[in-house]
Amino acid sequence: MEKQALQQASIELAAISHRFEPAGDWVIKGLSSTISQHEFVAVVGPSGCGKSTLLRMIAGLLSPADGAVEVYGHAVTAPRDDVGIVFQKPTLLPWLTVLDNVTFPLKHKYGRVSKAESEQASVLLKRAGLDGVAQRYPHQLSGGMQQRVGIVRAMLLNPDILLMDEPFSALDALTRERIGFDLLDLWQQQPKTVVFITHSISEAVLLADRVVVMSARPSSVVEDIVIDLPRPRSQQTLQHPDFAALTARVRTHIYAQVSAD
């Protein structure tokens, strides 16, 4: 049964619509998309078009007013164990150290943290430039460092599906690029389906297999662009002859939405 489920689409969005009040304006209207297992999909679109709302519906934190969200062929009605989320703002536990924060979900899920997981936590913290602060508390870190702790925490849990809502927006440009490649490394070592919301067009093209462009509200998918740049991606990818054309294509579709707003 489980094996059969793995052959299916990872995430199916079937004509979903949402508004926050029964008679309010539609935020999302009739949005459909299928995300395959282990695909890395970036979602871009004008500000306020409903990207976070969409992610919250996939996560089971919000039910669509109409249509259906399915994960591995099952309707999503509540948060799932195999779906991890990284929000725009990290939600760290203030009374735990950085190390305890990143291992907390594992402890909560399995009752213990294995030696291999502890080692992986150290590797990921180091990669994220946090190895010197593992014993510090969240209030002793900058906003960008706290955000990196949130990313490491989600990566360590290694969920089948990782939902990321502008996870790098608080980071400086260099750290942002490095941590993006780290995310890709991890994604290739531990394949998982990633839905990644970003406002950065170049980041979307650099990381993703597909870039889904959402329209202005009421939003749906206006363009679904396959990014067939070779992997593994690196800084060289930025020089690839197709990179500029792909970013230009995404940009054109987003700008069309903004000017139509």
Ligand X SMILES: Nc1ncnc2c1ncn2[C@@H]1O[C@H](COP(=O)(O)OP(=O)(O)OP(=O)(O)O)[C@@H](O)[C@H]1O
Binding residues vs ligand X (CB under 6 A): 20, 27, 45, 47-53
Least distance CB 51 / ligand X (angstroms): 4
Give strand pairing partners of 35.
11
Look up residue 132 and give its DSSP letter: G
Q: Which of 24, 31, 20 is nearest to 68 (CA)?
A: 31
CA atoms within 13 A on the CB side of 140: 11
* Per-position b or e across 128-156, b if 16+ CB within 10 A of its CB: bebeebbeebbeebeebbbbbbbbbbbbb
The residue among 86 and 186 lying less far from ligand X, judged by its C-beta, is 86
The residue among 26 and 137 lying less far from ligand X, judged by its C-beta, is 26
The residue among 24 and 73 lying less far from ligand X, judged by its C-beta, is 24
Least distance CB 126 / ligand X (angstroms): 30
Least distance CB 25 / ligand X (angstroms): 8
Least distance CB 218 / ligand X (angstroms): 10
The first and second tokens of residue 192, run together, are: 């998982």
Least distance CB 201 / ligand X (angstroms): 13
Question: How far, in Å, CA of 43 to CA of 77, rounded?
Answer: 22
The residue among 4 and 47 lying less far from ligand X, judged by its C-beta, is 47
The residue among 28 and 130 lying less far from ligand X, judged by its C-beta, is 28
